[in-house]
Amino acid sequence: MTEGKRRKIWGIEQDVLDMINEAAKDTYPDEFLATLRAEKGIVTEILLLPGTLSGEHSGTFHLHMLPIDLSVVGTVHSHPSFSNMPSEADISLFGRFGNTHIITCIPFDKRSWKAYDYNGDEIELEVV
Ligand SMILES: [Zn+2]
């Protein structure tokens, strides 16, 4: 059980965070949505989903469009507001897919993001 408690995903590359915040700025005032890919416990890439809706804050991932890819570990989206707290819709999305979820908010900088698990509980991700 101890082994199970250790988070499989423990870090994220600085470049990926920068990319997320850039994409969030570009997409503003709509929401930016993507999935996260990881290698050896570190988030190394974001993967945009074709057909993803944006603009309506309701966890609008098209789950059936997700690639069958075990390196996809969770999701990232932006909030066009000053809150990076997950909404109820976000938490229900988190519970359906993956265990590492990032939300970034205005002003989309190094301090504006937070990471959550499938329950919507905040988790620590080390920036590497
Ligand atoms: Zn949200």
Q: Bridge-partner residues for 79, per DSSP?
A: 105
| Closest to 74 in 3D by CA, of 85, 63, 87 | 63
3-state helix, strand, coil in the chain (%, to 5): 25, 30, 45
Range of the structural domain that residue 53 is part of = 2-127
Torsion-angle region of 21 (φ positive above 0: left; ψ -120 to 50: alpha; else: beta): alpha
How remote is the CA of residue 74 from the centroid of ligand 1, in Å?
14
Structural domains in the chain (count): 1
pLDDT digits (tens, 9 = 90+) for 36-92: 999 999 999 998 876 555 545 444 555 555 666 678 899 999 999 999 999 999 998
pTM of the model: 0.85
DSSP letter assigned to residue 50: T
How remote is the CA of residue 68 from the centroid of ligand 1, in Å?
24
How remote is the CA of residue 106 from the centroid of ligand 1, in Å?
13
DSSP letter assigned to residue 13: -
22 is catalytic: no
- Domain of residue 107, CATH code: 3.40.140.10
